[in-house]
Amino acid sequence: MTRTPLMAGNWKMNMDHLEAIHLVQGLHMELSDANFDYSKVEVVVVPPFTDIRSVQTVVEGDGMKIQYGAQDVSTHESGAYTGEVSATMLKKLGCAYVVVGHSERREYHSESDALVGEKARVVLAAGMTPIICCGEALEVRKEGKQVPHVLAQIDGALDGMSADDVKTAVIAYEPIWAIGTGEVATPEDAQEVCGAIRGRIAELYDAETAEATRILYGGSVKSSNVAEIMSQQDVDGALVGGASLKADEFAKIARFAEL
């Protein structure tokens, strides 16, 4: 596989800026030995906005290879948008990735597929990589409609995006019923939808674009299940919530190839 695996830890609204420094230092220590090669697995932490400057200071100061990003972004460049944070601001803080369209944003902030697509384009235009989230609710899964549901989200989010942008972007398939519940999709469930997403990218663009685009699985990923999930051919990494809040556990996930 030519796609470099990506392990991204979404901290959500956890960790103040001091706790963030400790967590990143702990993760760095856990990954500092000859067995771990950052060129073979990208490791990304996604803290709350208030922690990003502290994470930048410790990552740059200690020359760490851990990358970092943000959990959301405004579609506006600047101006009277109280509470919002622009892509340019995030880029200036050294963010490499921005999560867009997480199911918690879609649910609690009514984010539509069109808005998610707009955010993804703003992130790309600022020179960062969007991690575009998609995934079905339990009712959709019970009806067996997870594939058409997710593909409709993908169509909306990729609308108007060039093939080069899609190759840069990362898609994260996160079944909502598996997020923070301990209920992990089977590796076959993950493969079914991740494979369908790659197929859709091939239809919308071409085979080369589909082969280049990284697709992550997210939903109760832990060190005990990551290796099996990563063995699926269309799963290129994981978006990890709860298990990314402990340095040793997230490091084990990043070391999935050694498990």
Q: Which residues are catalytic?
A: 102, 174
Which stretch in 36-44, 106-114, 137-145, 213-221 sits in contact with ligand PEP by CB under 6 A?
213-221
Residue 218 binding ligand PEP, by CB under 6 A: yes
3-state SS class at 133: strand
Residue among 174, 165, 183, 178 nearest 134 (CA): 174
Residue among 234, 246, 174 nearest 14 (CA): 246
Instruction: Please state, in angstroms and as integers, the Cα–Cα distance from residue 128 to each residue in 47, 86, 123, 124, following that order.
Output: 16, 12, 5, 5
* Residue with the CB atom nearest ligand PEP in the bound state: 241
Residue 221 binding ligand PEP, by CB under 6 A: yes
Residue 153 binding ligand PEP, by CB under 6 A: no
Residue 174 binding ligand PEP, by CB under 6 A: yes
Residue 219 binding ligand PEP, by CB under 6 A: yes
Which stretch in 48-56, 58-66, 88-96, 212-220 sits in contact with ligand PEP by CB under 6 A?
212-220
Residue 135 binding ligand PEP, by CB under 6 A: no
| 191 vs 209, beta carbon nearer ligand PEP | 191
Residue 6 binding ligand PEP, by CB under 6 A: no
Q: How far is the C-alpha of 93 from the C-alpha of 140, rounded, in Å?
A: 39
Q: How far is the C-alpha of 234 from the C-alpha of 3, rounded, in Å?
A: 10
Q: Which two tokens stand for residue 100?
A: 């867009």
Among 27, 117, 242, 254, binds ligand PEP (CB under 6 A): 242
| 104 vs 118, beta carbon nearer ligand PEP | 104
Count of residues in contact with ligand PEP, rule CB under 6 A:
13
How deeply is 171 buried, as exposed, middle or buried, from its count of CB atoms within 10 A (0-12, 13-18, 19+)? buried
Q: How many C-beta neighbours within 10 Å does residue 9 have?
A: 31
Judged by the rule CB under 6 A, the positions of this chain that interact with ligand PEP are 10, 174, 179-180, 218-221, 239-243
